[in-house]
Amino acid sequence: MFEFRILAQDPDTGARAGEFVTPHGTVPTPLFMPCATQGTVKTLTPVHLEEIGAQMILANAYHLGLRPGADRVAQMGGLHRFMSWPKPILTDSGGYQIFSMADLRTISEGGVLFKSHLDGREIFLTPERCIEMENQIGADVIMPLDECAPFPTEKAPARAAMERTIGWAARCKAAHRREDQALFGIVQGATYPDLRRECADRLAALDFPGHSIGGLSVGEGLDLMVEMTGRTVERLPPAKPRYLMGVGRPEDIVACVAQGVDLFDCVLPTRCGRNGLAFTTRGRVKVRNTAHRADERPLDPSCDCLACRRFSRAYLRHLFQAGEMLGLTLLSLHNLRYYMRLMAEMRRAILERRFREFRKDFTEVRTMSDE
């Protein structure tokens, strides 16, 4: 049910263009997945996502397990049917919540004891329970429970988190029951190259159908993030898809595609959109700026999204000044369309053997000042 085909690889870098076959369709890579954490991409409908060219989305098993409950999602026919999304879905396990909700959890070898951020009740999330929930939810690609070390961290706790991640990955694999779901491994190791290499080698030996790179974009900066990504990728099986978790600035994505990463996700484009920041092919636009109060131009003349086809910068600014929900929808829609176009342009450049030129042009645009 799953296959990964590499169609082209840039001769100067690790960038590659491929196809990832899943039970709910074949997606082109490199690929960006919009975040539908709780079964929805904030302010957008599935129709919006289809119109901008989204091919695969990400949801979160921890959050869906709390509300409405994994059993309820299963009762409603699985997540694809529940949220009316016919294309592939990936679910994260809740590993990131171990990092982001540190004041609400206690870690042991057995699993993680959480206090629900909704009502305070205690939830003990084991690797086995994590996989049981993801099997119920029914995404195409699922993640094991893992531990993401904070940045910075000493080597001893980084190794402990890595060892726990590997042990949990083996337990998740043993608990996994559905052949129509691909369980990826997750490489941890903080910012220690030897830990990253060791973790990648040991997970590769477990023969997962794909691999994720976790624990980055947590404050270490672009250069170190790219270095750790490269050190990890060089030890992962080249014939399997590589997914860099939670990395989402456009410049980060381009740099990591050059390292050989295939899949990305992040809340950044929609979060920025809801806060009035638009990504364009000419730089970033802050629509709240007074300079746009009588600006008749679209956000990006080269963009074909609804916001750019129908509305001026002045109108978009008005929506944000007036607190209208439409502003959040239009900028979220625009930003995701920018990301979809960025990924398609990189893929085309790789296929046409001109990725170096693409990257040079992209870098020049990123140095422009915000408007």
Distance between CA atoms of residues 125 and 24, nearest Å:
28
φ, ψ for residue 238, nearest 5 deg: -65, -20
The average confidence (pLDDT) of the chain is 96
Q: Facing residues of 89 across strands?
A: 57
Place of tokens 């080698």: 201
pLDDT (mean) for 311-337 = 98
Distance between CA atoms of residues 320 and 288, nearest Å:
7
Model confidence over 174-214: pLDDT tens digits? 999 999 999 999 999 999 999 999 999 999 999 999 999 99
pLDDT of residue 117: 84
In words, the CATH class of domain 3-266 is: alpha beta
pLDDT of residue 65: 95
Active site residue 103: no
| Closest listed residue to residue 223, CA positions, set 194, 259, 188 | 259
Q: Find the catalytic residue in 92, 140, 252, 295.
A: 92
Active site residue 295: no
Query: What 8-state DSSP symbol labels residue 139?
Result: -
Q: Find the catalytic residue in 146, 265, 295, 300.
A: 265
**How is the chain split into domains, by residue range?**
3-266, 273-366
Model confidence over 127-161: pLDDT tens digits? 999 999 999 999 999 999 999 999 999 999 999 99
Model confidence over 238-263: pLDDT tens digits? 999 999 999 999 999 999 999 999 99
10 Å Cβ neighbour count for 224? 13
pTM above 0.95, yes or no: yes
Q: Which of residues 285 and 1 earns the better pLDDT score?
A: 285
10 Å Cβ neighbour count for 108? 10
Least confident stretch, 56-70, 87-101, 171-185, 190-204: 87-101
Q: Which of residues 369 and 246 earns the better pLDDT score?
A: 246
Binned at pLDDT 50, 70 and 90, residue 99 comes out as confident
